[in-house]
Structure 1
Amino acid sequence: MSSAPSAEFFQPLKADDPAVVGGYRLAAVLGAGGMGKVYLSYTPGGRPIALKVIRSEFSEDPEFRRRFQQEVRSAERVQGLYTAPVIDSDTEGAQPWLATAYVPGPSLAHAVALHGALPLRSVLLLTVGVAEALHVIHGAGIVHRDLKPANVLLAADGPRVIDFGIARAADSTSLTSTGVSVGTPAYMAPEQASAGTITPATDVFALGQLVAFAAIGAPAFGDGPSHAVLYRIVHEDPDLSGLPDELRPLVTRCLSRDPAARPALTEIIELCQQISPQPLRQGEDWLPRTVAGSITERLKLPAPAPTPPPQQPATAPTPTPLPTPTEYSPQTPPPGGAHPYAPPAHTPPAHAVAAAPTQAAPGVQAAPAAPGLPPGYRPPPGYQTPQPGHHPQPYNPQAHNPGYPTGPHTYPGAYPPPARRPRRTGLIVAGSVAAAVVGLGIIGYLLPDTTGKGGDAKAGNGPGASAGGSSASPKKRADPQPAAYEGVDVTGNYALMLADNPPRPAEDHGGGVMYGKGDLYYYSDTLFGEDKLGSANGKLVLLNNTQQGSLETCRAETRYTEKIGLDQLTKGSQICVLSKAGHIAVATYRGKSGPDDPSKYITVDLTVWRNADDPKDR
């Protein structure tokens, strides 16, 4: 980005903020609320997302976790044009989190606070957009429960409703009596404020308040302490004096204390179309210019935090060729410190140090160099001066380090090398034989596999690969052909093995389906009413509605679980099954047996890729 992001929208991470959540590196803080903190992050492909981390107080409550998991699974099925879709989540980790698409736009609360009430056309387009979003949310069996100006974002092409259904997870938890506020009192319905029955009509009341706030620029029941606002909602009429006359009938009906008297969402959309002097069409001009300008500001995203390079395993240092005598003077060590072949640092007594010619004092003749040693070399104590006629051999580092480059190398200041050892023909012959064996192994690796068994050598783990992985790149495993099986009936407490052709449900006598060896089992507990799909020999991943089950998708997904409740599935839901044996499958849920059926079972379609991965523990 050419310009820096606004600090008003993107707050820097603080010392108590995590750097990574669920594999996503956090870039900035978007906001905080009663249930958690929202961060800006990015998908691996660079798309921005809003990642909400639930407060630890909630995550420690088992009832919250149960409800939060149910609500997230339901929210993943919501795919409306006016909602922010759920991208990813973790409901079972130490601190649960939920990631949705990032919407570059201000909230309705922020826009009204800065620029005042919206014009009539913008209010009508806001109303129909939110009503359509609620229609989709209610269709997924969710009641928002916390629809307020802060949970409606104003995007360039219309409003977006966020945080739908999440507030329900906090209802009836141990935190409701500790002062933790989840809902917003100013936008609660009377039945919600008095602990009555929550229905989709509860969201219609909140929508009426939302419309009044956008058109008036203030809450319909005023501001002040929570208990005072809740009292007015339950016992008094709203203040609609500043509301345009065109909107008064609609808002009045939405704010009825009787839920049955509130209009349906489809009727609200029709009323808005009747109020508007021209057909309502969402477009980039639906907001005033002053509000639309803040959308541009929110597109100046901060750069994602850099990913630290992976730690490399410790390896032996590669020998560095020794410098020639002219590269460094005897008194100047090479870069990085002493050379590996230089003697250990030692300072002889002052009377034993012979100064180099360049170090001699004026008028004092420099001490001659010891015979056979470079000028200026300071021999250690105990060094014996060679006898006349002795000719030391040049130092051969390869005698001590076979990996050192061949060729004559000397280093000023090194110890006198030992005499060259005689050549050993036997070692040369043995090395030649070893090289021939390695060459034959490489040739065998490159030849096609005619056994049909594959093997680790093809994967770079066999004889053809070096321990450090520096050999030629192994051939990529060819994707197996999928095998499809439609209408597989799995009886309760029976399991399937993906290796079977065709897969048929069988009893597992190794301690029950949950503790046996089944790749996919259906567990039905009639006593406790638990119906689950599970795997005792691998992992499961429940795919989102936006994902298409495929081998690539299942390989890429890491949202592993071992059990999935049947109440989380609808017809057409897809589940990745990844077995420890290396088989991968997509199970498409088609339904379960009826109440009058003598057998209790589920029906799935299976697409199986056998031996799609190396066998391993997942």
Structure 2
Amino acid sequence: MSSAPSNDPFQPLKADDPAVVGGYRLAAVLGAGGMGKVYLSYTPGGRPLAIKVIRAEFSEDPEFRRRFQQEVRAAQRVQGLYTAPVIDSDTEGAQPWLATAYVPGPSLAHAVARHGQLPLRSVLLLTVGVAEALGVIHGAGIVHRDLKPANVLLAADGPRVIDFGIARAADTTALTGTGVSVGTPAFMSPEQAAVGTVTPATDVFALGQIAAYAAIGAPAFGDGPSHAVLYRIVHEDPDLGRLPEALRPLVTRCLSRDPADRPTLTDIIRMCHEISPEPLRQGEDWLPRAVAGSITERHQLPAPAPTPPPKPTTGPAPTPTQYSPQPPAPGPAHPYTPTGYAVAAAPTQTGPGAPGAPGFPGTPGGVPAGPWQQNTHPQGYATPPPHYPSGFAQPGYQQPGYQHPGSPPSGWGSPGFQPAGPRPGRAGLIVAASVIGALVVLGVIGSLLPDDPDTSGKGDRASSSSNGASSGGGSGDTADSGDKAREKPADPEPVTYKGIDMTANYALKLADHPPRPQEDTGSGVSYGKGDFYFYWDSLFGDERVGSANGKLVVLKNSQKGSLEVCRQETRYTEKIDLEQLTSGSQICVLSKAGHIAVVTYRGKAGPDDPSRYITLDLTVWRNAEEAQQS
């Protein structure tokens, strides 16, 4: 996410900006980009945070939400000296958000645009720091995918890499086909620009671009329309004419078109030390004085806006539940409540002094009532602590049908309030109920009478059909429904196959018994012919599983693969990158022929194995659904 388009690093909140995100009161806008907007906030202890709120378009995509949850969990494992750690997040709310430590420094893009190219020592320390950050990020199983100058912040003690993994959450979602690009064209790798393949070597190419950008003051493949830049990246050599001679071998290797020819991160760090005429040590003098001045500007943080007093109430008095805090969704409450703004008493609060607890001051019998229900939030609603659902306590929101425990009936105590009297027409209802009851009693008595000898056959049939009858129902209707229930076929029995080794570019069909992976000849470069295939691109290292005759669903860790679970899922896709899977991951496969299977991924061949294959367990329910018409 890019920095705000102004020399002032802190932009005021606008009318369409939220005042609070996840319980954190916002103080300013830090920047905006294709994925969303970044705000400044604070922890209860006063430490500044950068809160990234994802765009609503992405939030509405279920595949994005699933991937975003995965990436946030992975990002929380990244704890490097040159990364901004993830502090808090909400992946379930109306608009997902992610809070990281605030880095008081400009982005590399902002620094170069304002002050021009950096000296050699700064470029080398920048490159070493970013390489070290990528080592930690890759170690957590994440490929950045969108490493660019706007995602490298220049702090007083070295660079910080931010937004790692977030671009992956948007990759291959529905939005990528509607004009929303993943990755910045000027800093994409050739394989990423051409076929969308992403590996750790992709980030090495971007690192070479960043080093060149910092030393030259411009992108190595030039500016212009995205399609023109992408064409040059794929087909032409970079313009390194203005690059310092000492940096050319390093940058040239990083910008190799073949990912296999690019150096490792360890090699990059070693080469930087060899290039430097003096020992490389990070310190507060690693940046030119003018750029360091931008860091000072970012230390002068704006405070959150003070909370105004409650607005006077006009019109009819509110009901007791209108301002009462609503109960949170199940789950652990956040251990603290951000400071700097008024918060209504949390519904989970207990013990003496808690609103609604026995002996709460000014509330007879512990029933909350009166002015305490109107908190001091400017919109007049309860502000939830972090991790509460974002729909909780919104302006004017009242949970349907919810009455605060122990509260009087809604409207009690309002001017002119009268207890409800008897509803009209109750006498008629009583008479009708009496008639129906009498008919039921007569029916029961009739069923106890002995059958007529002349109609014993009919009596047998009536007895047979009444066995499944529900109380008060006609025997004919019940017989019909029983016949329909008997007509519905039972679920097929599952068949399980353990330890199937599937070679790269092979596929299997769920109807086969046992399923034997077959070579996928003549099926194109990246798509198989079977119900489930394993594809590997030997040139770019791309690995994926998919289905050419159905659809797939990657199950969550909390789910256990079963026929019912697979039938209920709707998060469909046709292909899955192998890097998304870990040992034990389960995938529902729903074939067009009506077969349903659960694939349990067990792992892939080791680096020293001469064959490339994956191992999986397979449970199949054959003919579980109607076959789709082709």
- Where does residue 263 of structure 2 map in the other structure? 263
CA distance in 2, matches of 1:197, 1:594: 21
User: Which amino acid in the other structure matches residue 87 of structure 1?
Assistant: I
Aligned to 2:90: 90
Partner secondary structure for residue 191 of structure 1: helix
Matches within 5 A, 1:41-440: 41-308=41-308
- In 1: Cα distance, 2:144 partner to 2:603 partner: 31
Amino acid at match of 2:134: L
- 5 Å matches for 1:523-542? 530=555, 532-533=557-558
Residues 276-335 of structure 1: CA deviation (Å, up to 9, x unaligned): 122211110100101101100111111112235689999xxxxxxxxxxxxxxxxxxxxx
Maintained 8 Å contact 1:205/1:254: yes
Deviations 1:80-128 (A, max 9, x none): 0000111111111111111111101011111111111111110000000
Query: Structure 1 residue 468: deviation in Å?
Result: 2.8
| Separation in structure 2 between the aligned mates of residue 95 and residue 463 of structure 1, nearest angstrom | 37
Give the secondary-structure state (helix, strand or coil) at the position aligned to 1:182.
Answer: coil
Shift in Å at residue 254 of structure 1?
Answer: 0.2
Q: Give the distance between the partners of 1:64 and 1:276, measured in 2 at CA.
A: 43
Equivalent residue letter for 1:468:
T
8 A contact 1:152–1:159 mirrored in 2:
yes
8 Å Cα contact 1:35/1:54 also seen in 2: yes
The 1:459/1:185 distance shift into structure 2, 3 A limit, reads closer
2-structure distance, mates of 1:460, 1:48:
31
Distance 1:76 1:269 in 2: 25
Work out the CA distance in 2 between the residues paired with 1:74 and 1:196.
21
Contact 1:35–1:182 (CA<8 Å) still a contact in 2? Answer: no
Please, what TM-score do these two structures have when normalized by structure 2? 0.51
Secondary structure (helix, strand or coil) at the match of 1:307 reads coil
The AA in structure 1 aligned to 2:95 is: Q
Q: Secondary structure at the match of 1:257?
A: coil
Superposed CA deviations along residues 325-346 of structure 1, whole A, max 9, x for unmatched, are xxxxxxxxxxxxxxxxxxxxxx
Alpha-carbon distance in structure 1 between the residues aligned to 2:121 and 2:311? 57
Please state whether the residue corresponding to 2:28 is helix, strand or coil: strand
In structure 1, give the amino acid aligned to 2:48.
P
Q: Deviations over 1:130-157 (max 9, x none)?
A: 0000000000000000000010000000
Question: Which of the pair has more CA radius of gyration?
Answer: 1
Q: Post-superposition shift, 1:181?
A: 3.1
| CA contact 2:158–2:286 (8 Å) conserved in 1 | yes
1:456: how far off? 7.6
CA separation of 1:98 and 1:464: change in aligned 2, threshold 3 A? closer
1:568/1:255 CA distance change after superposition, 3 Å: closer
Alignment partners' CA distance in 2, 1:274 and 1:23:
49
Aligned to 2:524: none
1:468 partnered with 2:363: yes
CA distance in 1, matches of 2:11, 2:289: 25
Distance 1:132 1:462, change over 3 A: closer
Residue deviations 1:422-442 (CA, integer Å, cap 9, x gap): xxxxxxxxxxxxxxxxxxxxx
Aligned partners of 1:459, 1:593: CA distance in 2, in Å? 51
Contact 2:582–2:603, Cα closer than 8 Å, also in 1: no
Match of 2:488 in 1: none
CA contact (8 A) 2:187 2:206 kept: yes
Q: 2:158 touches 2:282 (CA, 8 Å); kept in 1?
A: yes
Change (3 A) 1:15 1:241: same
User: What is the CA-CA distance between 1:466 and the residue it aligns to?
Assistant: 5.9
Q: Is the 8 A contact 1:70 1:568 kept in 2?
A: no
Structure 1: unaligned runs, 5 residues or longer: 1-5, 315-454, 472-525, 535-566, 571-591, 599-618
**Partner AA of 2:557 in structure 1:** K
Q: State the TM-score, normalized to the length of structure 1.
A: 0.52
1:253–1:261 Cα contact (<8 Å) kept: yes
Q: CA deviation at 1:180?
A: 2.0
Residue number in structure 1 paired with 2:3: none
Aligned partner letter, 1:104: P
Contact 1:209 1:219 (C-alpha < 8 Å) held by counterparts: yes
Contact 1:74 1:568 in 2 (8 A): no
- The CA deviation at 1:165 is 0.7
